Amino acid sequence: MSTKIIKNVVPWGGMKLEVVTHEKKSGIDRSKERAEIVRKEREAARDYAVSKLAQQYPKIYNPILKPGFDVWFESISGYPWKKRWELKYYKAKYEYTQAYQDFKDAYSAHQRAVKQYMDEDFALLSNSQRRVIHVKLATPGWCDRKEILKIYTECKRITQETGIIHHVDHEVPLRGEYVCGLHVHDNLRIITADENLRKKNKFIPGLDG
């Protein structure tokens, strides 16, 4: 509920005074305002910290801070670039180096993913870490990286223009119950986040598509 300003003209001592009052906000509105202020303060603090690190480690941060890096990174790894990683330069450097290497040598990335998948500690990894490995396993060396990147770029554009969050979805899931698809541009499509979350990994050959 937006704050309303109410103006009243009242007589006082032979003069007319304009009295301005504000409509009282509910507890929910005040909580939302405080949460938004805290969020902006944290964003400003993070951006300041990143700018200082960028000055200290220009070779690492120059490519990361370029426009479009988040889209490129997502097309390689299969999940969004999280800005909080920027605060740890060694983490950012590792993620960037891995993504860049995967872009240049898809075969090596695939072999590394196979090794990680077979490792005994795979089950201990986080969901996002396992997601990266699954995407690499499903990315063949002959895939067209440029076409994949175009799809992720278009997805971001649609989200920004419509205000509705869209995801890049694998039409045939990477880890489906009946069949598994590949991380190639022919298997990618742009759908809304709600539709993607409802779909999950469901795909029945002959009924879908």
Query: Hey, where are the domains in the chain?
Result: 145-209
Alpha-helix runs per DSSP H in 119-192: 127-137, 145-162
Query: 151: buried, middle or exposed (CB in 10 Å: 19+, 13-18, 0-12)?
Result: middle
pLDDT in tens, 140-166: 888 888 899 899 999 989 988 998 889
Q: Among 19-28, 81-90, 128-137, 143-152, name the one with the lowest average pLDDT.
A: 19-28
Q: pLDDT class for 20, splitting at 50, 70, 90?
A: low
For 25, 41, 68, 86, 148, the CA distances from 3, given in Å and listed in that order, are 7, 22, 37, 37, 46
pLDDT in tens, 63-90: 777 888 888 888 877 766 766 666 676 6
Cα–Cα distance measured from residue 79 to residue 101, given in angstroms and rounded to the nearest whole number? 17
Phi-psi region of 53 (alpha: psi -120 to 50; beta: other; left: phi over 0): alpha
DSSP 15: E
